[in-house]
Chains A and B, each alone.
Chain A
Amino acid sequence: GAVVSQHPSRVICKSGTSVKIECRSLDFQATTMFWYRQFPKQSLMLMATSNEGSKATYEQGVEKDKFLINHASLTLSTLTVTSAHPEDSSFYICSAWRGAYNEQFFGPGTRLTVL
């Protein structure tokens, strides 16, 4: 399968700070990437769809000013959690869509803890 990386894997920050998470597709170009959030023992919740060269599309209920997404190249999408608060603590996972096969490949996830 295709390889998707995420950085950092774990981050702890103070309330009010901003955190940037990077998602890279290492061996294929991804015109579309997705950002998910997952709470313990729950399913994946799609937050937004990131399209290279255009604005991200956010799911209902997701604050676009809080979760800034940039898809600047065909291999890199970033998620910035602005003014993070403890309730933003979660496991954030990105995926990259490999269009030729209509498959999504996931990164290893980023554990965000806001103190």
Chain B
Amino acid sequence: EDQVTQSPEALRLQEGESSSLNCSYTVSGLRGLFWYRQDPGKGPEFLFTLYSAGEEKEKERLKATLTKKESFLHITAPKPEDSATYLCAAPLGNTPLVFGKGTRLSVIA
């Protein structure tokens, strides 16, 4: 069954402590892997799209990578303002974006 799974569910980091979030997928014929950030009470904010294994994209302290089975969102030297829920998603069949349950990131000063 095609699906998107994220881990860990929650992550607590000290400011400056780098880490990675995982998104594993079982999708035949991947048509893109999407990362979003969601702050409480707001809509998801688009971060990155990755289309092929080996692809990497960066934005400030965030870098997204993609393999044939999973994607990682690396956070380098995070700051408290990076605290949010990070969501990954992939198209499945006709459904444009099927989301994982997200990783709640807390960065403590």
Pair from one complex: no
